[in-house]
Amino acid sequence: MHQTLRQHWPEYLIEAAGLGLFMISACLFVALIEHPASPLPQAIGNPSLRRVLIGIAMGLTAITLIYSPWGKRSGAHLNPAVTLTFFRLGKIEPWDALFYVIFQFVGGVTGMAVAALFLHSPVLSHPAVNFVATLPGKQGAVVAFVAEAAISFGLMLTVLLVSNSQRANRYTGLVAGALVALYITLEAPLSGMSMNPARSFASAMSAQQWTAIWVYFTAPLLGMLGAAALYVRLKGAAAVLCCKLHHENGQRCIFRCRYGVKTEGEQA
């Protein structure tokens, strides 16, 4: 454990910083677009259109983090469900998986604390912002669970299909960011659109609002594990080359990596 921590701590810190920055971005954009003190809610009266803007902002945030030098180094999981799914696929060592998850949670909580420092609690606690908490919509927790599982399944299956193609790997971040934008636009009314236990935990802790938190701890992981199982069934376990979202770069890789080894599909 100590040797792993000593060798790979930069990647762990990057995972914490990445999710922290994502949380800060979410707070800033939701406050700007939804808070009554901002001119945007009056200028854009349609809540669906405002949600499109939030989706675009967060999709671009995800893309920026994935393609940043930091994201290229750590793999830009920024999500315990992503890390644990790749652990299940055998692409990440146990200690690395554990530290990734721990630092992701720490990063999310720290990001919310920094956002509160800049925006002040009255802004974040306003019902229009509500610490960007992910909560079930009017249809309830069961619908939120199904929706979270479905979008998590879709994201992970897409990531596996794109990232494991050496021709398409460089576009994984663009595709993932586009899905984040699409999901916020279309699915957020059902569950708040999380797909990320650490992201939901950070908001819940700041808001002290734990409504249906079990949804956001279980559904993303189950959905992503389901996608991984389907991918392995269709392509075979050997088709999973690595667990970096973007591998076409010069950054070191700490994973059980086969990127650069051509699969049968690639050879064809």
CA distance 267 to 247: 19
- Which residues, 6 or more positions from 200, have their beta carbon under 8 angstroms from its beta carbon? 133, 134, 192, 194, 213, 216, 217
The pLDDT tens digits for 84-111 are: 999 999 999 999 999 999 999 999 999 9
The pLDDT tens digits for 118-159 are: 887 789 999 999 999 999 999 999 999 999 999 999 999 999
What share of the chain has pLDDT > 90, as a percent? 86
CA distance 138 to 41: 22
Alpha helices in 35-68 (DSSP H): 40-43, 47-67
**Domains identified in the chain and CATH numbers:** 2-267 (1.20.1080.10)
Closest CA to 72 of 18, 16, 6: 18
